[in-house]
Chains A and B, each alone.
Chain A
Amino acid sequence: MSEQHARTAENEHHIVSPKTYLAILFALLLGTALTVLASYFDLGEWHIASGLTLFWNPVVALAIATCKATLVVLFFMHVKYSSRLTKLTVASGIFLFLVLIGMTLADYTSRAWGRW
């Protein structure tokens, strides 16, 4: 019985307040405005090595999108207040996704199968 109590206390259902939701809403709308604004400027590029160039526009757009997604996951989806099991599930999901994308792209970009 005491074990049951301990478990319940750890996973106590946390109610996120409307104030927090409202703050996240404004942060997300601000992020949207920023990413649209940024897309109107040519942010240039970085020549790392010959044949390897990093364009800043997509980097900035994806960075802002990731910030917005993180806010949604942590607050709207309550992961910040969830059990460690949920946190681990989300983290391993993202990790597996990055591994699959990373491996696939590494394969496609490193093969000597000519230019299209």
Chain B
Amino acid sequence: MEEADHPHHEEHPSYQRHHFESVDQQFDATNFAMWLFLVTEVMFFGGLFASYLIMRNWYYRPFVEGSHQLSIFWGTANTAVLIVSSFTMAMAVWSAEVRRKGTLLLCLSLTLLLGFVFLGIKGIEWHEKWEKHHVPGIHQYSIAAFLDPASDPEVHKQYPDDQPLPYDLAQKTEQYFFLYFAMTGMHALHMAIGCGILIFMIVRAKAGAYTAGHVTFVENFGLYWHFVDIIWIYLFALLYLISRHG
């Protein structure tokens, strides 16, 4: 029995784990596990999305006027950055599949760079909220812009129809910014973790780890990166776009 197994064992590529029958089986199992993880991620972000929908329904005016504080320009730019990064990531998977090491390194580096650009733009947006005292819970949250829209000329120029909110409703804008920071913050955390893994992958790719037929890691990381892209596509619609006309 052992003699019969031995030659079979020799045929394994070095990257095939012993408990799998074949490389295909290993790929399928790992890929399936990655999808199950992403389903748990859907449920995790789903809780945030559900809270947002319920709170927006309850405190409609504060959520609409809170949303008017966001910049459509930066939001659109970041959406484009993330979509292009998804494209470069998909191309990285392709490069690994056709075993082109140079192209793979280029695609992974571009993806990392675009990830940093996204986080940088997010930083600009968050910094503006900090300066305007629109960070909930800390740094003296200010409701001035909602009690008197004319006191915030830049936003007032874009949304001249915004009415002053009564004091209790103006306070509820803090709920909007709480969810804004929770959702974009959780998303940015996923991006930052992704950037960390990308750096690890670039080092491994340089050593030729993904261009010798073993593409599982690149493929599964790609799934994660595209999932984070999808979350942003919905965040962009819900946080930035749907309240422009409310």
Contact = CB atoms under 8 A, between A and B. Distances in A.
Dominant SS at the B interface?
helix
Interface of A: 4, 7-8, 11, 13, 15-18, 21-22, 24-25, 28-29, 32, 35-36, 38-43, 55, 57-58, 61-62, 64-65, 68-69, 72-73, 75-78, 82-83, 85-86, 89-90, 92-94, 96-97, 100-101, 104-105, 108-109, 116
Interface in B80-97: 80, 83-84, 86-87, 89-91, 94, 97
Given A36-B72, A65-B233, 8 more contacts: A7-B24, A11-B28, A15-B94, A41-B245, A57-B246, A58-B237, A97-B46, A105-B54
A61 B97 CA distance: 35
Contacts, number: 141
B58 to A, nearest CB: 5
B241 A35 contact: yes
A42 B57 contact: no
B47 to A, nearest CB: 9
Question: Contact residue range for chain B?
Answer: 35 or more
B124 interface: no
Q: Give the 5 A-B residue pairs with the shortest CB-CB distance, closest first.
A: A93-B39, A58-B242, A25-B87, A39-B241, A61-B237
B245 A18 contact: no
A12 to B, nearest CB: 8
A116 B59 contact: yes
Interface in B191-215: none
A29 B84 CA distance: 8
A15 B98 contact: yes
A89 B50 contact: no
B241 A61 contact: yes
